[in-house]
Amino acid sequence: MPEPQLRPRHDSLWRRPLLLSTGTLSLAGLLALGVVHLDGGDGAGTAGATARTPWAAELPWPREGQAAVGINGVGDLGSHGPQTPVPIASVTKVMTAYVILRDHPLRDGGSGPGITVDQRAADESVSGVESTVPLERGQRLSERRLLELMLVPSGNNVARLLARWDAGSEEAFVKKMNRAADALGMNRTTYTGASGFEPTTTSTAADQLKLARQVMRVKAFRTVVSKPRTTVPGSSRTLPNTNTLLDTPGVVGIKTGSSTPAGGALMWAVTVPDGRGREHLALGVVLHQRAGTSPQEGLIAVFDSSRALVEAVRHRMSATEAALAADAGEAKP
């Protein structure tokens, strides 16, 4: 089961113990020890108080663009930069995968139904202006395989193929994406395509963090985004994951995005140990890095910014939890 999230004060969960991984410290205890404090929201239109760590201000936030970070079972660490909608490029594919897996869940280890590659997806494979994956008309590929080809090497043609398969047309699928965003409280997000190729698909780091929390509860999704590589269908040729942050210890996903309008964009997930060796899942989103330059320059910038955040969260989580254990009188194993 997913770890519980801190909720607004009117929620009845405020009267129940909050479990930190396998710990049993209540929210009141966390507040008393200074591990979290409350403020009036994340600047992204979310009503109610939000739990945050006092060391959020000390995180190495990117100098440009925007970012948001949270830890499952602890709460939001905060957001940085103007939370105004910006193009998110291929980070869009996270919502595409979320809707596909919601409509067509994959059982443990299952591949799902077979999907036939249509002429349009095959024709788009040879595009020289966007990220695509080689496909041939008539190929029969499983849902899981297509999710890999969409999320690992970031195939735009695969995203649009999955959208047509699910909803009959990409336009109909986009309506599903926007309804899903509304349901998750992503009030500053607008999807206009399934792949992110269109610069009119815009969102904020705080909104995308809400999606990251939800989609990382899905085992099939977690398995796919953690893969370092996949192969071209019908070939042994390797397609590496565009997310080179996976080389960083503990990182288990999630998705890159890059274009001249969007700059570099990245939704990431990393397991961070506390002072007692228990693991927590930290999630982050960094957007609009070096926008207006080349996609390559944007990716370099977003990887640098994200790597710095990952390392800082890892260090701070360990130190905070160690202090928490000592203050609570809990002996380390």
Cβ atoms of 116 and 233 closer than 8 Å? no
Strands 114-116 and 86-87: unpaired
Query: What six digits make up the tokens of 51?
Result: 């739990």
The answer to whether residue 93 is catalytic is yes
CA distance 242 to 246: 9
Type of residue at 75: G
Nearest in space to 103 (alpha carbons), one of 18, 16, 196, 166: 166
Backbone angles phi, psi at 236, to 5 degrees: -95, 0
The answer to whether residue 127 is catalytic is no
Give me the residues paired with residue 202 across strands. 87, 190
Q: Give, in degrees to the nearest 5, the angle at Cα 188 between 186 and 189.
A: 70
Please report the sign of the dihedral spanned by the C-alpha atoms of residue 294, residue 295, residue 301, residue 305: positive
Residue 62: in which H helix or E strand, if any? none
Which of 79, 125, 131, 154 is catalytic? The answer is 154
Is residue 277 classed exposed, middle or buried when 0-12, 13-18 and 19+ CB atoms within 10 A define those classes?
exposed
Q: Which residues 6+ apart lie within 8 Å of 129 measured at CB?
A: none
The answer to whether residue 154 is catalytic is yes
Which of 79, 90, 259, 306 is catalytic? The answer is 90
Question: Is the peptide bond between 254 and the residue preceding it cis, with omega within 30 degrees of 0?
Answer: yes
Which of 93, 176, 210, 255 is catalytic? The answer is 93
Catalytic residue IDs: 90, 93, 154
